[in-house]
Amino acid sequence: MIKIDRPNLADAPSWYPYFFGLTSGNDLIEALQENKMQMMELIKSIPFSKEDFSYEAGKWTIKQVFIHLADDERYYAYKAFCYSRRVNVYLEVPQGDHYRKDFNAQNRTLADIADELFTVRDATISLFSNMTNEMLDFKDFPNETVYTARSLGWMAVGHNVHHCRMIREKYLGDYNL
């Protein structure tokens, strides 16, 4: 297994560097594993009474945030898979009004959602663990937003860190860890 260094900022859309800046370390696999452990600790710290809490009308509940994280990690991993195999697919992350916000969270437990999220993370780690530098850095699709599998992997970590911070700061309030 190779060490997967940090991405080149030119190999990602303009909004990705914010998320890259939230990550630590210089190896993607280690960052994915460390972030998984941090998520586990955060989820364990969430009181049952806060699982369906939304800090403001119209904002996601804690359970919806974690479902969103699993959904988006699937997106980043699939797009990275396609780039690493030189398969050109148009696949933009759904957002804004086009993003369905009914995640069926009300019929799920946080433990169930966490199991799904950690399964997705393990699959992401497995995917990236077997990529070569050539697979990680391919970006030669004309007329497309520039991505590489490497930049998508680091985005998965940074996006997760961003939302976990939001949970600590805006959702847990007095429970801030």
CATH of domain 16-175: 1.20.120.450
Q: Given this model, what pLDDT does residue 89 score? A: 81
Number of neighbouring beta carbons within 10 Å of residue 75: 18
Q: Given this model, what pLDDT does residue 91 score? A: 72
What residue ranges do the domains of the chain occupy?
16-175
Q: Given this model, what pLDDT does residue 88 score? A: 85
- Taking the C-alpha atoms of residue 79 and residue 41, their distance in angstroms, rounded to an integer, is 28
Q: In a 3-state reduction of DSSP, which class is residue 61?
A: coil
Q: Tens digit of pLDDT per residue, the chain (177 long)?
A: 789 999 999 999 999 999 999 999 999 999 999 999 999 999 999 999 999 999 999 899 999 999 999 999 999 999 999 999 999 887 766 666 656 667 889 999 999 999 999 999 999 999 999 999 999 999 878 777 788 999 999 999 999 999 999 999 999 985 444
Exposure letters 1-23 (e unless 16+ CB within 10 A, then b)? eeebeebeeebbeeebeebbebb
Q: How far is CA 1 from the centre of its chain?
A: 22
